[in-house]
Amino acid sequence: MSGAFPGWHGTTILAVRKGGRVVVAGDGQVSLGQTVIKGSARKVRRISPGGHEIVAGFAGSTADAFTLLERLETKLEAAPGQLQRAAVELAKDWRTDKYLQKLEAMLIVTDGREFYVITGAGDVLEPEHDVAAIGSGGMYALAAARALVETELDAETIARRAMAIAADICVYTNGALTVETIG
């Protein structure tokens, strides 16, 4: 995450789908270089556009992520209950709009049935293996969750254990989790 604040790091967001539920977990650490600026940031949120509940986790600039979440809400209000359509429309706008192109964030969004990773490159990715992760420790959390998803553990336990593993490995990830379940 470069741009106006070079050296800002932080955030691991993980989504796990299992047993008819999707769990999105995010750590709370925000760092500037070698300094932890905040340890309890809330990067996983529930939104309810048009009465349809969505859970979203974000990595990157908080202001940029909130701008994208507001745009997503607008897209969902125009197409109630159609998360894929709203995600594609958001990604299209993000890629083509001069203002939005400067935004530095990534999103994981779910309605409990589907979940997607949305990027500024115009990607709307439906993850394989019912696991997705973004952010500084995302690949550590993803690997841990992929290994755990084949066990008898439920989605929340998998997410919590995978996030703990990521926090042990990635210096930009901590154990102060926000966990939301939907589905």
Q: Could you tell me if residue 109 is inside a domain? A: yes
Residue 129 placed within a domain: yes
Is 177 domain-assigned?
yes
What's the structural domain count of the chain?
1
pLDDT at 2: 40
User: Is 12 a known active-site residue?
Assistant: no
1 is a domain residue? no
Model pTM score:
0.92
Q: What is the pLDDT along the chain (183 residues), one digit of tens a residue?
A: 344 444 445 689 999 999 999 999 999 998 888 888 889 999 999 998 878 899 999 998 888 888 999 999 999 999 999 999 999 999 999 988 888 888 888 999 999 999 999 988 889 999 989 999 999 999 999 999 999 999 999 999 999 999 999 999 999 999 999 999 998
Cβ-based neighbours of 174, under 8 Å, separated by 6 or more: 27, 28, 29, 36, 39, 167
Residue 35 within any structural domain of the chain: yes
State the CATH number of the domain containing residue 110. Answer: 3.60.20.10
Give the separation between CA 124 and CA 126, rounded to whole angstroms.
7
Tracing tokens 């993803």 back to the chain, one arrives at 142
For position 164, what pLDDT does the model report?
98
DSSP string of 64-130, one letter each residue: HHHHHHHHHHHHHHHSTT-HHHHHHHHHHHHHH-TTGGG--EEEEEE-SS-EEEE-TTS-EE--GGG
156 in any annotated domain: yes
**33: containing domain:** 8-182
Q: Which of 49, 67, 50 is nearest to 58 (CA)?
A: 67
Q: How far apart are CA 117 and CA 96, in angstroms?
A: 18
Residue 2 forms part of a structural domain: no
8 Å CB contact between 17 and 155: yes
* Residue 165 domain-assigned (yes or no): yes
